[in-house]
Structure formats: C-alpha cells, structure tokens
C-alpha cells in the first residue's frame, strides 16, 4: 500500500508541476468588431492548446493545403495539438495551423 501511495504522490506532484506552466488568455469581445485584428497563420508553441468554445466563430485550420472554418460548439473545449507534441512524438502528430 505504501508503494501505491508513493506513486500517487509522485504523479500528483508531476501533474501540479505541469499545471503550473499553464498560460491562460482571455480576450473580451470588442465593442467595435470592424476594428479588430487577427493573428497571422501560426501553430502554438506549447504541447496542447485548450480553446474554450463560445458562439463566436472565426477559427480556421489548415488541412491538405486548404483553410477550413471550424464551427464553434457551445460549451465545448477544443483540444489542439501544438508544436511540442510533434517534437515529443517524433513527428507522429502534427500541430494545428490556424489562420485568423
């Protein structure tokens, strides 16, 4: 039982260490949407990106050389594979490239 407890403690400490590196960004709606600017096409540098969905569309992803519009799913969390995941999987996963 002590071994299990030690392993669970080590796992909890590892998870907490990983979670301490999470960056959260919040962008409130712009009162003048005609003045908003987007980002250039990019992939995120972390391991994964969690995108909390709302009713505002606009996310596009690159698939087979074509930009596809991603319909938002209300109350959903979109999980995007990012650059570090490609590195640690030796290229078996590809990061999501997004267009503004």
Residue 99 in this model has a pLDDT that exceeds 70? no
Residue 93 in this model has a pLDDT that exceeds 80? yes
Say if residues 79 and 47 touch (Cβ distance below 8 Å): no
- Count how many domains the chain has: 1
Residue 100: pLDDT band with limits 50, 70, 90: low
Average predicted confidence (pLDDT) for the chain: 82
- Residue 4 within a domain: no
pLDDT for res 36: 79
Q: How many helices (H) and strands (E) does the chain have?
A: 2, 5
User: What residues make up the domain containing 42?
Assistant: 38-100
Helix or strand run (H / E) with residue 19: helix 2-19
pLDDT tens readout for residues 1-49: 678 888 888 888 887 787 777 777 777 888 887 887 777 788 888 888 8
Q: What is the mean pLDDT of residues 67-86?
A: 86
- Residue 32 within a domain: no
- Indicate the DSSP class of residue 34: G
Q: What is the mean pLDDT of residues 67-73?
A: 88
- Residue 21 within a domain: no
- Residue 24 within a domain: no
How far apart CA 93 and CA 81 sit, in angstroms, is: 8
């Amino acid at each position: 039982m002590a071994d299990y407890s030690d392993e669970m403690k080590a796992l909890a400490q590892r998870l907490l260490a990983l979670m301490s590196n999470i960056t959260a960004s919040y962008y409130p709606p712009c009162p003048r949407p005609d003045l908003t600017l987007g980002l250039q096409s990019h992939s995120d540098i972390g391991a994964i990106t969690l995108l909390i969905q709302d009713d505002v569309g606009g996310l596009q992803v690159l698939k087979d050389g074509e930009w596809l519009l991603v319909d938002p799913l209300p109350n959903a969390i979109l999980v995007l594979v990012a650059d570090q995941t490609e590195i640690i999987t030796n290229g078996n996963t590809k990061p999501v490239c997004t267009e503004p």
